Structure 1
Amino acid sequence: MTDREDSDRDETVPGFGLPTAGRKPPAVDVPESAGGDAEPAEAEDTRVGDVTVEEISPTSPVASMPDTPEPASAESDLDRSAAKERKPGLKRPAPAGTLIWVLLALLGFTLVVQLRSNDADSGLSTMRQEDLVQILSDLEARDSRLNTDIESLERTRQQLTSGVEGRQAALEEAGKRSQELGLLAGTIAGRGPGLDIAMDKVKASDVLNTVQELRGSGGEVMQISGVNGTSVRIVASTYFVDAAGGGILADGDRLTGPFRLLVIGSPETMRTALQIPGGVVASVKSDGGSVTMDSRSMVEVTAVRKATALQYARPVS
């Protein structure tokens, strides 16, 4: 064996310790991909003498595979979750956008509530023209009556402060006030223009509704009578209850129908109030009863009550 052959045998392949027989492995051309990145080269067989050596590229799967599998870390899990959140379909809404949607929802709810409130308050807009005229007539009558009262009170004030005539005016005013209070309390009889109302086949609630409607339309003095001859003066404390066996109880006195109700006040105003659609007359007729009214230029209310002695109440002055 020559010295040349010995030197050739001493040369070894790096990393494997195999003889190369004096040859270097041929260079491998690595093609570039479309994006410019070099694809990992596959292992290439190199024959050295009778031994075949597989050359492994540093970027091949075998070379890059770790000797032992590394356990998954918490950091890699967080990276994967962050990557999922960065996907276009899983964007989290911004706080400002959420606030805008909440404000829009509140604004819509407020508008709906306001519209419903406006619809509930539009009762007069659905009434007939005749009903509106009647309501306007009642308001004008009340306005006229209140203006008359104001003028009368102004004259009384001037008389009371006019010096020598003040004492006589004060006595006259005291007598007038006593009569008015007597009429309201039911302790003296009264007369004046008003209505004579007949009611048949009605309940205590119907009579109470009629009295309340008459008070609201200017009725000042009232009394109710039954066919049994009993009459009751109606005042602020009067109550009505259905009696057992028929009829009603007015302040504890039994009355049998048909009933007669006398009231002093403006006949036209009170008649209009009772005949409003859906009012007293319509309600009684729908229940099978009847209400008839007769305007009178002079109605006499003769039923009186005994004066009640107050036990606890005292005037302030």
Structure 2
Amino acid sequence: MEHSNHTRVTEFIIQGLFDHPHYRGMFFGLFLCLYTAVIMGNSLIIVAIVIHPPLHTPMYFFLTNLALVDIMCTSSVLPKMLKNTMQEKKTISFGGCITQLFVLTSSLGTEVLLLTVMSYDRYVAICHPLRYVKLMSKEICIRLAVSVWAVGTINSFFNILLVLHLDFCGPNLVLHFFCDLPTILALSCSSTYLNEIMMFMGDIFLAMGNFLLTTMSYTFIILTILKIQSSKGKQRAFSTCSSHLLVVTLYYSTIIYTYIQPTSSYSMDKDKKVAIMYTLVTPTLNPVIYSLRNKEVKVAMKKILQFTTKK
């Protein structure tokens, strides 16, 4: 294989999210508050689930994993973004860009799989309640969680390997506020055909495949709920499903819009706004939508507050 004679790019310049220098302080404060909310909200959920035995169930076990993924996803982007917000020249090293890309893509893939597993958990609980203990045993839950993390990481690993085989010889301006796979491929001065094929196939499996599985699960769930005679039972079940479906719809719509398209048709300006949803807004809302309305979680939160006030 011939080596390229091009000078390899050692750093990338990040365009950023907003081009308003006079409002840097305001944007910095806003995103710092949101990032803090992501870390605090998801961390509290994890602690609440760990210290409160009634929450030691499969649903909350997977919710703990989801909270960890949300922290990882947001932390891969926001710290660097906050730093660049207050700087004239917004840069990231090549190694830093690859690291950010790996952590982000692995967390996104893992979250998609987790949403599917959580929908399966609800399907078993509502459609097959008598078999729930057997089908969602501790051993099975652990295997599902390990598989989810492994698939998300392996998918990201192969994409990163393909990126490392590309040549980057300029320009080095990333038209985004973080290193994302489509934006990085657009900067390569070598063929990205294989990268695009692998990225598209992976996203079809992770995004579309899991979306269809989630849709199937909730189709059966809704059909089962409609057969429930008690109006209170229907209302409670529909409330749980509507919250989960809201997050699933929001998450999948942004992911599919961003990734299931060729690099040539990639719209940077629109996708920067969409990316805020799955890197910041969704991780902020997930603890509220999934947990904070639950009575058991509120009891666990009170335990945490009482413990901290005693200290």
Q: Same fold judged by TM-score > 0.5?
A: no
User: Scaled by the length of structure 1, what TM-score is found?
Assistant: 0.24
Name the one with the larger helix percent.
2
Computing the radius of gyration from Cα coordinates, the structure with the larger value is: 1
User: Scaled by the length of structure 2, what TM-score is found?
Assistant: 0.25
Q: Which has the higher contact order (CA 8 A, sep 6+)?
A: 2
